[in-house]
Amino acid sequence: MAFLALMAVFGGCFLAFRIARLSSWSGAAKFIGATFLAVVLGIGLTFVTGVSHNICHGVLKMCIATTDTTIYDIVYPLYAIPLYWIIMLTTGASTTEEEES
């Protein structure tokens, strides 16, 4: 279970990097946009982790059932929201020669 959640966190870091590279934010818009997208990314990946665990347990019969003591494995992407936010704020937009012309 923790493996699925950690894969979601690593995927979230990659998505945060790509979002920041593709955006052209500056100033307050970058701060507000990165905050909003980091929260959405964390909540969305938490949902994806829960669904993937249910598929792994119910359909594939490969994972053990989640109990109240192991539910925290699903929320790793929520814990990583500050990490996504920092990645988005510190990563600049990519520029190419075509964009500068």
* Number of domains into which the chain is organized: 1
Average pLDDT, the chain: 82
Three-state SS at 63: coil
- Quote the pLDDT of residue 15: 92
In this structure, is residue 99 part of a structural domain? no
In this structure, is residue 72 part of a structural domain? yes
Which stretch, 9-18, 47-56, 64-73, has highest mean pLDDT? Answer: 9-18
- Residues with Cβ < 8 Å from 4, sequence gap 6 or more? 49, 52, 53, 56, 73
Q: Which domain holds residue 17?
A: 2-93
pLDDT at 101 over 60: no
- Quote the pLDDT of residue 98: 47
Specify whether the CB–CB gap between 1 and 70 falls below 8 A: yes
In this structure, is residue 101 part of a structural domain? no
- Residues with Cβ < 8 Å from 48, sequence gap 6 or more? 8, 77
In this structure, is residue 98 part of a structural domain? no
Q: At CA 24, angle to CA 20 and CA 30, rounded to 5?
A: 65
In this structure, is residue 14 part of a structural domain? yes
Confidence of residue 83 (pLDDT cuts 50, 70, 90): very high
pLDDT at 82 over 90: yes
- Quote the pLDDT of residue 49: 85
The predicted-structure confidence for 18-51, as pLDDT tens digits, reads as follows: 988 888 888 888 889 899 999 999 999 988 888 8
- Residues with Cβ < 8 Å from 15, sequence gap 6 or more? 41, 84
